[in-house]
Structure 1
Amino acid sequence: MYEKKVGSVVVVDEAGKPVGIVTERDLVYVCAKGLSADTPIWMVMTENPITIGEDALLLDAVEKMRSLNVRHLPVVDREGKLVGIISVRDVLDLAAFLIRIRE
């Protein structure tokens, strides 16, 4: 996560379906609890992450993130396979871009 400068990693099963998510908050928990880097990922990930379909509107994703207080939302296709992730940072980057072109 540090090397790629991302705030989360989605854990998928053999079929490519999300089974967990590890976020920056989870890593803070690991540090606060004094756990080591050898701690298995399943011990710190949030299981059954909240997802959104790839055909959903951006507004739907923003409202879902806001109402459920999450900053990262895995995006899945019709079969439930991971196809991407949208983050609050992505939304802010888009908002900044739209503000710039409007000016």
Structure 2
Amino acid sequence: MFKRRVGELAKRPHIVPADATVTQAADLMINADVSCLAAVAGAKVVGFVTERELVRRLDVDLDPATPVRELVSRTSGGILKDLGLDEAIRRMLERHERHLPVVDISGSLLGLVTDKELVDALAVDFMVENVDCRALMRTEPIRLAPHRSVQLALDHMREKSAGSVLVVVDGKATGIFTERDALRAIMGHPERLTDPLSAYMSGPVVCVPVDAMVYKVILFMRQKGVRRLAVVEPDGRLAGLLSQQDILLYARRLS
């Protein structure tokens, strides 16, 4: 397993000027369907701004006019393009990051590799593993009723370092509220923090059965363009949540 190199997977990052506002950065993330931007000053990359960093501060102290340069993170260091997939997964999990800059031997940025690219690359490897969703899913994802507030959802997401909340009625997932939903709905509209989740959740939720094979689930996630999905029992009741991070954690144990 894991014979590929990260240089094969890295993609050119979307960029945002370091003096752009966080609102402009959020709009770019939403329109480009990405969760990380490279902040540039002239031709120099000065850091990265992530969807998660924006959401964690969305309801606390984030002025929509804040320049991106005030929020950029300097990652723990780039990874060389010849690094193996197993080592890239290890570093991503240990750093609690979803994006790793890929550099050449001189340290020049070649691109970004994200949890999405790593998971996509694992589909073939998982074909030889007789494992279904039960082995990987989180059985206790964050669950809230649709009338609960956006503020409460953000509080739980920050506390659990989670990227989503499942909206549940009578044991069944009726919607999902993600970091992307939060950026789209709340940036520049703090008055919406007290609104119910039902106003901004995405639905219907993408679901798979508990006995779905993981390699098929990876391909399904790629087809649907989602990073997480609900795992359900035969009667439709929620059994758990499976995210790209959960797949990487399991793959790490196999390496």
Identify the TM-score tier after normalising by the shorter chain.
0.7 to 0.9
Partner of 1:34: 189
Partner of 1:89: 245
Return the letter of the residue paired with 2:248: L
Matched, 1:70 2:197: no
Stretch of structure 1 that moved more, 64-73 or 22-31:
22-31
Structure 2 CA distance, aligned partners of 1:24 and 1:5?
A: 11
SS in structure 2 of the partner of residue 47 of structure 1: coil
* Number of residues of Structure 1 aligned to a counterpart in Structure 2: 98
Q: CA deviation at 1:26?
A: 0.8
Structure 2 CA distance, aligned partners of 1:8 and 1:66?
A: 18
Structure 1 CA distance, aligned partners of 2:194 and 2:200?
A: 12
Instruction: Give unpaired runs (5+ residues) of structure 1.
Output: none
Structure 1 vs Structure 2 CA RMSD: 1.3
Q: Is the 8 A contact 2:186 2:193 kept in 1?
A: no
TM-score after normalising by structure 2? 0.37
Q: CA deviation at 1:33?
A: 5.0
Return the letter of the residue paired with 1:89: Q
Percentage identity across paired residues of the two chains? 36
Deviations 1:55-87 (A, max 9, x none): 111112111111111011100000000010000
Return the letter of the residue paired with 2:182: L
Partner of 2:166: 10
Q: CA deviation at 1:98?
A: 2.1
Instruction: Give unpaired runs (5+ residues) of structure 2.
Output: 1-156
Return the letter of the residue paired with 1:67: Q
Partner of 1:24: 179
Deviations 1:14-49 (A, max 9, x none): 2x1111011111111123352531121011101211
Q: CA deviation at 1:96?
A: 2.5
Structure 2 CA distance, aligned partners of 1:68 and 1:2?
A: 26
- Structure 1 runs of 4+ with >6 Å offset: none
TM-score after normalising by structure 1? 0.86
Structure 1 CA distance, aligned partners of 2:221 and 2:250?
A: 16
Aligned residue among 53, 58, 61 for 2:209: 53
Q: Is the 8 A contact 1:61 1:73 kept in 2?
A: no
